[in-house]
Structure 1
Amino acid sequence: MTYKVVVVDDHLLIAKAISSIIEGFSGFEVLYEAENGKVLIDKFKVRVNIPDIVLMDISMPIMNGFETTQWLTDNYPDILVMALSVQDDDESLIKMIKSGAKGYLHKNVHPAELEIALKTLIDKGMYFPAWATSKIFMSISKKDDKKTTNEIKLSDRELAFLNFVCTELTYKEIADRMCCSPRTVEGYRDALFEKLGVKTRVGLAMYVVKNNIS
């Protein structure tokens, strides 16, 4: 199967270079480049222009990466957004995750890691390198008012689901292990998002680590 990718970046030469690299990866093809979120949204008016993955720059005119990622999360939640930016500060990383990004890479990433990231994004639903995971964990740890397991009631099934969150299993595979449907697992996930005040699987995983859930 070939997965379709769109590169959103306001620097044409960079966008073309990234596209050229991705075209060399087995199983991926680049549909087109877009210079900002507004152009991407306009492209989406034609169904064949809707990709599986969007590689998203952050700093862009008219409609930046944060706004565009949030729009995609609201309107096309199945599209996997991976930030590809020169910005690697805590604020940008956390803001992109809160907007719905499932991955984050720095633009100086080696092509080999980019290929691994894309394949992992498809297989596992997210990809964050070690430096990004560390920043996410530190951000969560700094929040003194973050809820703990002592302050909120979690069901046995929700706790069981949380134990699988830190593995590399997909949600479908977790459903198989828990002997329930993928829709039921999605229900556990959404309920925990609400209870724990997080928005992504990474947030759930960091919550598990912080609170020593086992």
Structure 2
Amino acid sequence: MKKKITIVDDHVLIANALGEIISNFKNFEILSICESGQVLMSSFEKGNIPDVVLLDVSMPIMDGFETAKWLKENHPDVLVMALSMQDDESSLIKMIKNGAKGYMLKNIKPDQLEKGLNILINKGRFFPEWASDKIFNSLLDDDKDAPNSIFLSDREIEFLKYTVSEMSYKKIAEKMYCSPRTIENYRDSLFQKLNLKSRVGLAIYAMKNGYGTE
């Protein structure tokens, strides 16, 4: 079954052109095209809920940041892929903090967009190399003064080691012989103790403090 996509962009011609391109992708179909975050909210209220929202960052009235935050708070299962003309670090990090699971530039080629969408669906996130570098550098800066005296339990440390791997949380749960819910508890506890908000942050902390995978 094809995954449904909603495009949110105030430039109607661009949005329609993007819709035509995506309509030719094997695994995706267009559910709706919205001109603003407010129109998207109305669409959701009518039950038109997609698997993925392709979200323009720069929009009047209700921009991409506000829209992403609303989606995060009200429809956290919907994957948000931000689309932007700019590759500045501040917009990238702000979109991620507001719940975006992917970030792509509007000058990408159709095959790159299709590849990115497939990775987003299969892995739950997609960031091209340039974006990953900016995220990594930003998190390193945020974490460079993290205290080393924080107490971590043996199980939290074991989980922390696995965050560096490519394993999903479900696979980590199997490896640690516990439930996915327990893994979520370890993750949330570490988020609070280390003042972090993402698995990338946990992985960077693990690497910086000598926790490697087994």
What TM-score does the superposition give when structure 1 sets the normalisation length?
A: 0.91
Query: Secondary structure, in 3 states, of the residue corresponding to 2:45?
Result: coil
**Separation in 2, partners of 1:9, 1:135:** 25
Aligned-residue identity in percent: 56
| Aligned twin of 1:21 | 21
**Separation in 2, partners of 1:144, 1:41:** 35
Once the two structures are superposed, residues 99-124 of structure 1 have per-residue CA deviations (whole angstroms, 9 ceiling, x without a partner) of: 11111111112222211211111111
| Aligned twin of 1:182 | 180
**Separation in 1, partners of 2:182, 2:22:** 35
Say what the alpha-carbon RMSD is for the aligned residues: 1.7
Query: Quick check: 2:143–2:205 contact (8 Å CA) kept in 1?
Result: no
Deviates more, 1:195-204 or 1:120-129: 195-204
Q: Which amino acid aligns with 2:158?
A: A
How far residue 87 of structure 1 moved from its aligned partner, in angstroms, is 1.7
* Closer, same or farther: CA 30–204 of 1 in aligned 2, 3 Å: farther
How far residue 192 of structure 1 moved from its aligned partner, in angstroms, is 2.0
Q: Aligned to 2:171, which of 173, 179, 196?
A: 173
| Aligned twin of 1:151 | 149
* Closer, same or farther: CA 182–95 of 1 in aligned 2, 3 Å: same
Query: Quick check: 1:124–1:168 contact (8 Å CA) kept in 2?
Result: no
**Separation in 1, partners of 2:203, 2:109:** 26
* Closer, same or farther: CA 12–143 of 1 in aligned 2, 3 Å: same
Query: Secondary structure, in 3 states, of the residue corresponding to 2:206?
Result: helix
**Separation in 2, partners of 1:166, 1:113:** 26
| Aligned twin of 2:36 | 36
Q: Does 1:82 align with 2:81?
A: yes
How far residue 79 of structure 1 moved from its aligned partner, in angstroms, is 1.0
Unaligned runs of 5+ in 1: none
Query: Secondary structure, in 3 states, of the residue corresponding to 1:198?
Result: coil
| Aligned twin of 2:102 | 103
Equivalent residue pairs, number: 212
How far residue 126 of structure 1 moved from its aligned partner, in angstroms, is 0.8
Unaligned runs of 5+ in 2: none
Q: Does 1:132 align with 2:140?
A: no
How far residue 185 of structure 1 moved from its aligned partner, in angstroms, is 1.5
